[in-house]
Structure 1
């Protein structure tokens, strides 16, 4: 079980025998993780999770660094490419390492950086099959759906917020990048914001679907990561929905 002394916004957390970490990279300044608890040895690079959060204030982008290759999930609002580039630098990488860009859905606060990013990277770009046609770009988006795999990541259909909304699950460590299917900017874990939800019934079904998965951490589009008792919080949220 994760160390209960760590908060939902902590940078490091334990899961099973390994140690997972989410580095928060805010704007041009990368946040340094706090030292490990005295009872545990400092995490080595091999033990620290490879997911990095780029905090864009209103929304987040996420970087997955594996070796010399990077996948990016979501690109923030227009103009976010500079902050994402700084996040890459803080992770010891550059745009040249980015080979995969996954967009959770069509809304401008998640695809806004696409126009500029697509000019500087030679990557494959992906979006949910029902959202692809609504994203205006010359990047050559590849449609993906439930069961598809990108860079070892599983695509999970989570419609409701938009009809083609997808989430991204990392089976190697139980990390879920949820886009806007889940959020924590209200102070607790909640589902899709009803003000911007296309189909509330489907959105609720998507939450219940995710609650059946073995999820150890949730990286939402809005709000901080859920690093402690993520599965429990998700199951309680699902149980509260009609």
Structure 2
């Protein structure tokens, strides 16, 4: 058997809809000798993997880790040295709170070649699927994408800074910190700021709640919204309803 160069390619699988994976990502999956995939990866995408490749689930489900991050790092190196090309398949984009950079650094320290295939981030695509633009002329000139929970399991200090701005705020992994997030925005007088929470966005199991800073906690409870979900705060959330209103008005003119 010919020697295979140990290599790691970190691949973004996109936000959930299998059609949102890139062509390049599919090409890479077909060349894999081993694929390590996460819980947020749509398992239908596994059909694109080289049929001779080993597939290993390393994700987190219901608060349980099958592998700790240190074990995943070690597994990447061990499998690459034994089998050749390891593909680390991650939901969304691997460089947006996906720890892809950490895994690449670890692999490189053991002499592995490394590469990355960007993915479509849930921070952008999930909102877009619900007709919520993160920027819109007259409503938002910028947007923040922030992790709701830091590695110390605390709320990110950046959310307090973001609450002072006029930007659209997208919070990932923030559902457990929603009451704290609400209080930060209320402290800035943004009680009526529109908020959307989208669970399992772009998939057939998608659920959503729309309200304001003051009402969103009740809406979450009433709709039983939970992780995985994104939180979008900003005037741009109104765009979704604006589109629906325009479509309804147009339809009514056709009936006249």
**Same structural fold, with TM-score higher than 0.5 when normalized by the shorter chain:** no
Q: Which has the higher strand share?
A: 1
Larger Rg: 2
- Calculate the TM-score normalised by the size of structure 1: 0.28
Structure with the higher fraction of residues in helix conformation: 2
Report the TM-score when normalising by structure 2. Answer: 0.27
